[in-house]
């Protein structure tokens, strides 16, 4: 498991952990060794019987003694050789000699890691798809629920809650596309041997490699070396960006739950406790958890970039970091996305609170609406200057902006042309919000927007 104190162990997604468990890691190593033998058996590079025997033993992972292996790893200072020795012992002398033929340790470990990375990205996508469905649902359900749009923490213009959610959904959909675009090029099999030259495979290296890739459902590495890490780093980058998107959403959901806003509430069921001392506390714990997990996910991007810089044909300094970082990233990213799903599944939207807050700024949120109206006559710049003064007067005096507009001597003369009640009706100043939400729900918003709802989502 990712290190987690007992009090937040439930933060960590268990499916993601399983992919990187000891058992599954060993299983993936065995799977790669077996696939290599099978491919080489078919190609006549090793005896077919040896390949068969290796595969047979590989099916009985329970025969491998992991405790013995772990102890041997410390003694030999080598991560794979003890596994190979155990494997060879189980296979027996005759066929065991054809195990790991032409391979080096990193080939097995990196190819196995590619399989685990691929499964992890699949799991990320499954969780993101679940989140996308919820977001599209919320955007549609609340497409007309009025809310104050805010920039820099200040009321700016009226929006709807559905529109806010649509903004989240559009962004997350782009991250989903980035993650989808990683396959298959980012998950490759490699069998280039000690320096990636395929020297131990007698001129049939690329042939073996491509066959192995096919056997394992992995991509072509182009060159079987061990000194690049760009594919893995691109997964880290895409996952970290998607996590940052979830962090943005969750951060907003923390804010919207603030006592003074109270536009959103998590599921405060009776057993849930907010504080050991303040009994009234209804904390946005689920939203905060997403933020924390996302920050931890993001923190893997910088060391992943550093781990791309490797010396010569192989470099254990960077490799050692990668062995910890890749699983940690995967587990944290999946946990972020599944916590995001749980969060969205738990929230209640308080439309009345949204309306109350929208009304609380005394009409000043319509300054632009008035300006655009006046601008046709006075010019935009002049109208802006007038309304800037009016708004300042209202703010300083604690009066209503709409009253000040009506009272302003200059604007009074334009009164005939303005129906202020209409201009200051938030439902009439929503621009293309409906268009944007519909396009999202249709999944056809843009040329490059692959649909994530409906059938294609299951790809």
- Interactions with a second copy, residue window 106-145 (CB under 8 A): 109
Q: Is 53 in the site for a second copy (CB under 8 A)?
A: no
- Name the residue nearer to a second copy (CB basis): 133 or 356: 356
- Tell me the per-residue interface mask from 410 to 429 with a second copy, x by CB under 8 A, - otherwise: -------------------x
**Other Cβ atoms within 10 Å of 380 Cβ, number:** 12
Sign of CA dihedral 360, 361, 365, 366: positive
Question: Which DSSP string corresponds to 284-331?
Answer: -HHHHHHHHHHHHHHTTHHHHHHTT---TT--HHHHHHHHHHHHHHHH
List 55, 133, 214, 315, residue binding a second copy (CB under 8 A): 315
Task: Count other C-beta atoms under 10 Å from residue 234's C-beta.
Answer: 17
Cβ at position 343, least distance to a second copy in Å:
12
Considering beta carbons, is residue 88 or 129 the nearer one to a second copy? Answer: 88
One of 77, 409, 413, 416 touching a second copy (CB under 8 A) = 77
Query: Could you say which residues in the range 280-299 bind a second copy, by CB under 8 A?
Result: 280-286, 288-289, 291-296, 298-299
Q: Under rule CB under 8 A, which residues in 195-224 are in contact with a second copy?
A: 195-201, 203, 205-206, 220, 222-223
Q: Shortest approach of a second copy to residue 63 CB, angstroms? A: 16
**How far is Cα of residue 37 from the mean position of the Cα atoms in its chain?**
36
User: Is 155 one of the binding residues for a second copy (CB under 8 A)?
Assistant: yes
- Pairwise CA distance, residues 47 & 67, whole Å: 31
> Mind giving me the DSSP string for 132-197?
HHHHHHHHHHTTT-EEEEEETTEEEEEEEHHHHHHHHHHHHHHHHHHHHHTTTTTSB----GGGSS
Choose, by CB under 8 A, the member of 163, 190, 341, 452 that binds a second copy: 163
Nearer to a second copy, 99 or 211 (CB): 99
Q: Can you tell me which of 38, 104, 335, 336 binds a second copy, judged by CB under 8 A?
A: 104
C-beta separation of 291 from 205 below 8 A: no
User: Among residues 22 and 419, whose Cβ is nearest to a second copy?
Assistant: 22
> Closest approach of Cβ 6 to a second copy, in Å?
4
User: Contact between 159 and a second copy (CB under 8 A)?
Assistant: yes
254 binding a second copy? (CB under 8 A):
yes
Question: What is the 8-class DSSP label of residue 277?
Answer: S
Please return the burial class of 452, using the count of CB atoms within 10 Å of its CB with bins 0-12, 13-18 and 19+: buried
Position 399 contacts a second copy (CB under 8 A): no
Q: What would the two tokens of residue 274 be? A: 């907010």
Q: Could you tell me which stretch among 35-43, 124-132, 415-423, 447-455 binds a second copy (CB under 8 A)?
A: 447-455
Is residue 255 within the footprint of a second copy (CB under 8 A)? yes
- Residue 324 found at the interface with a second copy (CB under 8 A): yes
Q: Decide: is 408 part of the binding site for a second copy (CB under 8 A).
A: no
Q: How far is the CB of 410 from a second copy (least distance, A)?
A: 14
**Using rule CB under 8 A, residue 56 touches a second copy:** no
User: Dihedrals φ, ψ of 191, to 5°?
Assistant: -145, 35
**Rounded to the nearest 10 degrees, how much is the dihedral formed by the CA atoms of 458, 344, 176, 252?**
170
Residue 13, SS3 per DSSP:
coil
CA 273 – CA 292 distance, rounded (Å):
19
99, 242, 298, 428, 446 from 254: Cα distances, Å = 55, 18, 19, 29, 31
Number of other CB atoms surrounding residue 444 within 10 Å: 12
* Residue 170 in the binding site for a second copy (CB under 8 A): yes
Contacts (CB under 8 A) with a second copy, residues 337-356: none
Judged by CB under 8 A, which of 39, 57, 58, 158 binds a second copy? 158
Closest distance between a second copy and the C-beta of residue 236, in Å? 9
Pick the binder of a second copy from 43, 126, 180, 378 (CB under 8 A).
378
Kindly tell me which of 130 and 304 has the beta carbon lying closer to a second copy: 304
Q: Which of 41, 58, 162, 193 touches a second copy (CB under 8 A)? A: 193
């Amino acid at each position: 498991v990712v290190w987690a104190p007992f009090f937040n162990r439930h933060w960590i997604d268990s499916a993601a952990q399983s992919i990187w468990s000891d058992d599954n890691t060993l299983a993936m190593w065995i799977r790669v060794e077996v696939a290599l033998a099978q491919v080489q058996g078919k190609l006549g590079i090793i005896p077919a019987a040896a390949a068969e025997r290796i595969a047979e033993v590989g099916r009985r992972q329970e025969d491998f003694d992991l405790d013995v292996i772990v102890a041997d790893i410390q003694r030999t200072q080598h991560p794979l050789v003890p596994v190979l020795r155990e494997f060879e012992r189980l296979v027996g002398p005759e066929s065991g000699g054809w195990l790991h033929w032409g391979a080096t340790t990193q080939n097995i470990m990196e190819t196995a890691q590619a399989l685990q990375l691929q499964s992890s990205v699949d799991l990320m996508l499954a969780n993101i798809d679940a989140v996308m469905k919820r977001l599209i649902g919320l955007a549609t359900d609340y497409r007309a629920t009025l809310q104050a749009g805010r920039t820099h923490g200040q009321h700016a213009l009226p929006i709807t809650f559905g529109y806010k959610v649509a903004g989240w959904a559009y962004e997350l959909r782009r991250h989903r596309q980035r993650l989808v675009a990683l396959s298959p090029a980012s998950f490759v099999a490699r069998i280039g041997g000690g320096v990636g030259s395929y020297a131990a495979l007698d001129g049939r290296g690329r042939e073996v490699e491509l066959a192995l890739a096919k056997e394992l459902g992995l991509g072509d590495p182009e060159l079987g070396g061990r000194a690049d890490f760009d594919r893995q780093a691109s997964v880290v980058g895409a996952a970290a960006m998607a996590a940052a998107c979830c962090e943005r959403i969750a951060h907003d959901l923390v804010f919207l739950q603030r006592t003074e806003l109270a536009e959103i509430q998590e599921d405060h069921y009776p057993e849930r406790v907010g504080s050991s001392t303040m009994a009234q506390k209804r904390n946005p714990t689920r939203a905060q958890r997403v933020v924390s997990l996302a920050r931890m996910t993001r923190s893997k991007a910088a060391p992943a970039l550093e781990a791309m810089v490797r010396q010569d044909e192989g470099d254990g300094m960077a490799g050692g970091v990668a062995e910890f970082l890749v699983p940690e990233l995967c587990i944290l990213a999946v946990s972020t996305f599944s916590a995001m799903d749980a969060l969205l599944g738990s929230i209640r939207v308080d439309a009345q609170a949204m309306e109350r807050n929208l009304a609380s700024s005394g009409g000043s949120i319509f300054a632009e609406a008035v300006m655009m109206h006046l601008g046709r006559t006075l010019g935009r710049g002049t109208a802006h200057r007038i309304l800037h003064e009016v708004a300042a007067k209202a703010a300083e005096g604690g009066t209503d902006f709409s009253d000040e507009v009506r009272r302003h001597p200059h604007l009074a003369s334009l009164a005939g042309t303005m129906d202020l009640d209409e201009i200051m009706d938030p439902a009439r100043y929503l621009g293309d919000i409906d268009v944007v939400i519909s396009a999202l729900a249709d999944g056809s918003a843009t040329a490059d927007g692959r649909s994530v709802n409906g059938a294609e989502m299951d790809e």
